[in-house]
Amino acid sequence: MSLYELPIDEYGPIIQNAVEKAFAEAGELEALRHKKVLSTIEVEKLYGFSRHTLRNWRSQGNGPDFIRTGKTVRYPQESLEAYQNLTLVRMRNRW
């Protein structure tokens, strides 16, 4: 049975579950914003850069600065914010 075929009274739990999941994800992102150093998985969640892109950037010497301790890679929030500002494209008013 698809979502469109459900009786209206059965939407409540589905909507409640979706809202709870959205609030949980928002809380997780808010907690990540307060960390000083992030793992690649956390960077992916918060900034949207995939782990594969981050790895490629590291191997090419591009992307945000990072800290390597053995095989562990971490990204300081300051470096990620600086990189975002560096790649920011400003649009001029065309009118």
pLDDT at 8: 65
Domain positions in the chain are: 8-86
Reply yes or no on whether the pLDDT at 42 is more than 80.
Answer: yes
pLDDT at 65: 96
Beta-bridged to residue 39, according to DSSP, are: 74
pTM: predicted TM-score of the whole model, two decimal places: 0.69
| pLDDT tens track for 1-25 | 565 666 666 767 777 777 777 677 7
Alpha carbons 73 and 79: distance in angstroms, whole number: 13
Reply yes or no on whether the pLDDT at 38 is more than 90.
Answer: yes
CATH 1.10.10 fits 8-86, yes or no: yes
CA 78 → CA 62, 64, 68, distances in Å? Answer: 16, 9, 16
Q: Where are the alpha helices (DSSP H) in the chain?
A: 11-33, 40-47, 51-60, 77-86
| pLDDT tens track for 53-93 | 999 999 999 999 999 999 999 999 999 999 988 887 877 77
